[in-house]
Amino acid sequence: MSSSRLVTLIPGDGIGPEITDAVTAILKAAGAPFTWDVQLGGVAAMDKYGEPMPQATIDSIRKNGLALKGPLATPIGTGFRSVNVALRAEFGLYANVRPARTLVPGRFENVDIILLRENLEGFYVGLEHYVRVGDDPHGMAIAQGINTKEGARRIIKYAFELAVKQGRKKVTVVHKANILKMLTGIFLETAREVAKDYEGRVAWDDRIVDAAAMLLVQDPTKFDVIVTTNMFGDILSDLIAGLVGGLGLAPGGNIGKDAAIFEAVHGSAPDIAGKGIANPTAMLLAGAMMLDHIGDQATGDRVRNAVLATLKSGVKTGDLGGKATTKEYADAVIAALK
């Protein structure tokens, strides 16, 4: 076993603490080499420090370079920007990695897609303003997007490198270069350059985002690794989560040069918080991605296989049509590890 890594753990809000308990118990049983440095974020941090992402939590992530994050409720009406967007900017987390793999029989049987979303540029830079038209100060809204060659190159290179490392067959570059000829044309142009370095090793193609969305719901097996710009990635990553059973199963990683933050894609689920019935799978699979990230893919695979075996045996939480509580489900996954 590799030596233990100190990891910042943010249990988060709503169902966060419940699923965090389940996830840490399963990872411990799997022998994951993590020691947790527990820190506050979200509403839990607002109550204690008056801000949703306290300096102590940021310092901990900077020191450890690795974090597992529960869902954070965005405090309404306080004017705080999204904590998630702020963390991406703070740590330069340029790659948002979202795998989607069929775990429970559903609409599709064989989905196995990794989507890579550029995480720092595009329309998410927040350069927008209103323009007065006549008496209406909000008569017009203007937004600017920024994509750079450097930003495109590092995420596209990340996609090709991941394809090589994981023995994937194809990278699909998704864009809208027919209309946003410059903003997303630069992404396609950069992909053509980067792809030259992988000739003979990884195949690639490109698709316009609207056509890609249609093909994804018609036949997701046509896709392997997808790499795209920030907003298209935001939309398509939820779409692929829907193809494989929804939010309770969707993990994500935000990767930068010096830090990486792994999380469930879903939010704090206030409607079921405190009831002990939340599905911890998404956050658990985020933990498995973190194991891959530190080079311990064997333990990551053990966790994923135990999840698969548990779901196949019919032990499921309510969101997947089952009756198991969070604790019953976690106990079943732990039993399946053995």
Shortest Å, Cβ 179 to ligand NAD = 29
Tokens of 67: 């974090």
Taking CB under 6 A as the rule, does residue 117 contact ligand NAD?
no
Under rule CB under 6 A, residue 74 binds ligand NAD: yes
In the set 247, 308, 309, 335, which binds ligand NAD (CB under 6 A)? Answer: 247
Part in contact with ligand NAD (CB under 6 A); list of ranges 25-33, 102-110, 138-146, 266-274: 266-274
How far is CA 70 from its chain centroid? 12
What does 158-190 look like in DSSP terms, one character per residue? HHHHHHHHTT--EEEEEE-TTTSTTTTHHHHHH
Catalytic residues: 124, 176, 210, 234, 238
**Which residue spans within 212-327 are E strands per DSSP?**
225-228, 251-255, 260-264
15 or 191, CB closer to ligand NAD? 15
Instruction: Locate 124 and state its tokens.
Output: 């998410």
Structure tokens at 159: 């996609």
**Under rule CB under 6 A, residue 18 binds ligand NAD:** no
**What are 320's two structure tokens?**
């997947």
- CA distances to 52, 73, 92, 127 from 255, rounded to whole Å, are 21, 22, 8, 24
Which residue stretch of 119-127, 230-238, 270-278, 305-313 sits at the interface with ligand NAD (rule: CB under 6 A)?
Answer: 270-278
User: Considering beta carbons, is residue 84 or 172 the nearer one to ligand NAD?
Assistant: 84
| d(C-alpha 65, C-alpha 81), whole Å | 23
Q: Is 279 in the site for ligand NAD (CB under 6 A)?
A: yes
- From candidates 65, 122, 220, 248, binder to ligand NAD by CB under 6 A: 248
Under the criterion CB under 6 A, does residue 267 sit at the interface with ligand NAD?
A: yes
Distance between CA atoms of 189 and 275, rounded to whole angstroms? 50
- Decide whether 212 or 259 has the Cβ nearer to ligand NAD: 259
| Cβ-proximal residue to ligand NAD, closest one | 267
Q: Bridge partners of 173?
A: 206, 227
Is 266 near ligand NAD (CB under 6 A)? yes
102 or 268: CB nearest ligand NAD:
268
Spatial distance between the Cα atoms of 322 and 279, rounded to a whole number of angstroms = 10
Determine contact, residues 302/49, Cβ cutoff 8 Å. no
CA distance linking residue 297 with residue 294, whole number of Å: 8
* Shortest distance (Å) from residue 199 CB to ligand NAD: 37
**What is the four-CA torsion angle of 249, 250, 251, 254, rounded to 10 degrees?**
-170
Measured from the CB atom, is 171 or 264 closer to ligand NAD?
264
Binds ligand NAD by CB under 6 A, chosen from 271, 295, 321, 338: 271
Which pair of tokens denotes residue 133?
Answer: 């038209």
Among 27, 32, 72, 115, binds ligand NAD (CB under 6 A): 72
Q: Which is nearer to ligand NAD, 152 or 269 (CB)?
A: 269
Q: What residues make contact with ligand NAD under the rule CB under 6 A?
A: 15, 71-74, 84, 247-248, 263, 266-272, 278-279, 282, 319
